Structure 1
């Protein structure tokens, strides 16, 4: 499926030079002189090698045709993560390399979409936002306003997050899974 390179997002799987590449970073570059372009940092799905490529913003790229299945995350066993297909009850095991950024937001019994290319799992798509508990954060400082500053905190999955100063440990928050940013209190 052809798509404009400016529509490419992190996590997309592209077919380039007869290989499948997962987009790790996508940056739109607009230099002072010249044509705007997209800088893509990608990792080859088969070999694990990384590459950076620049595409003219008017170019089109081939997005891999992937089938999606709704699955439930069950548990972790070392570097292996187990998922169950909700229609057939078949279980699959994915390693931490496939999950990468999703690990920071995965909790047991969470529903995700696993993308397959010819019956081979390649990618895990999380919901746009997830609700997680803040287990640790600094105390609020007197005089801090809610709008101007954030303080570091840690989620129940171990991921770091910047939260407003009025939040305390034990508060459940909604987190954007694409950016890792605080959205609102849950």
Structure 2
């Protein structure tokens, strides 16, 4: 679907210069001299490189629609992560580095969303929050105020996060999978 350069908004996926790019930031610019344009920061969906481009209002770009499908995480097999399509029950194997460090948050049976372009996976979205047990937490140092002092803790998946001083070993906490940060105690 073709769109004009001034219609590009953050989150749009574009086919540009032979690659797939997602618009990260956009800014409409109206210089005193010359025509208005849209300054767009693009990020390549395949290799992660960034690019800044100017698109005039009369230019057209190809906007790409990605298929989003729900997959269930089954298990890790060496460097491969195995997922199952929740509708067709077909299995999909993705390299661990495709998911990145967030692969540590995957739990058996967890539902994730995989973005596909022409049937090829190009992105994965994990649930926003996961509940994990704290396996190691430093004791509270007497005299520390809770206002600004966080302490390091190690979670059951081996990830390290900063937690408030009242969190102790054995407690379950909710962690943000995008920011890899403590959210709150689990209920």
- CA distance change for structure 1 residues 61 and 136 in 2, over 3 Å: closer, same or farther? farther
- State the distance in 2 between where 1:66 and 1:107 align: 25
- Mapped contact 1:163–1:182 kept (Cα < 8 A): yes
| TM-score normalised per structure 1 | 0.75
| TM-score normalised per structure 2 | 0.74
Any stretches of 5+ residues in structure 1 without a counterpart?
Answer: 29-36
TM superposition outliers: structure 1 runs of 4+ over 4 Å: 1-5, 37-40, 58-63
Query: What does residue range 1-186 of structure 1 map to in structure 2 within 5 Å?
Result: 4-5=8-9, 7-8=10-11, 14-21=14-21, 42-43=43-44, 45=46, 48=47, 50-55=48-53, 64-186=64-186
Structure number with greater Rg is 2
- CA distance change for structure 1 residues 21 and 156 in 2, over 3 Å: closer, same or farther? farther
> What is the Cα deviation at residue 64 of structure 1?
3.6
Q: Secondary structure at the match of 1:92?
A: strand
Cα deviation code 1:62-113 (max 9, x no counterpart): 6642111111111111110000111221111000232114313212221111
- State the distance in 2 between where 1:69 and 1:139 align: 43
